[in-house]
Amino acid sequence: MNLHRYMLFPIFILSTHWLSVRFYSTYCAPNDIYGYLMSYITVSNPVCSYALKIMDKTGDIYLSLWSIFSIWTLTLFISCYKNITHQETNN
């Protein structure tokens, strides 16, 4: 099993999310009054809509990855605890 491949996927997802946030905040909704006024036009742009969808989907995937990792870690700890207590009762 190539563990490094599994470690690269969350990095790819988070990087994609971060880049789409940076793109959206720079080009679709800049942080000034001019950006506020221009966002009436740019937010409906297909590229900005696509960036927003990328942010939404990558955020969901990243949350799912953390949930899976948390459940896996908890399961591992419970398994270790059961093994330790089982060994103590056998001695």
The pLDDT of residue 65: 87
Phi, psi dihedral angles at 8 (to 5 degrees): -75, -30
For 23-50, how does the pLDDT look when each residue is reduced to its tens digit (9 = 90+)? 999 999 888 998 889 888 888 889 999 9
Judge whether 7 lies within some domain.
no
Cα separation of 1 and 12, whole Å? 19
Cβ(51)–Cβ(20) below 8 Å: yes
How many domains are contained in the chain? 1
Contacts with 59 (C-beta within 8 Å, 6 or more apart), sequence order: 17
Cα separation of 26 and 19, whole Å? 10
For 37-89, how does the pLDDT look when each residue is reduced to its tens digit (9 = 90+)? 988 888 888 999 999 999 999 999 989 988 888 898 899 888 888 888 777 66
Judge whether 73 lies within some domain.
yes
Judge whether 71 lies within some domain.
yes
Say whether pTM exceeds 0.85: no
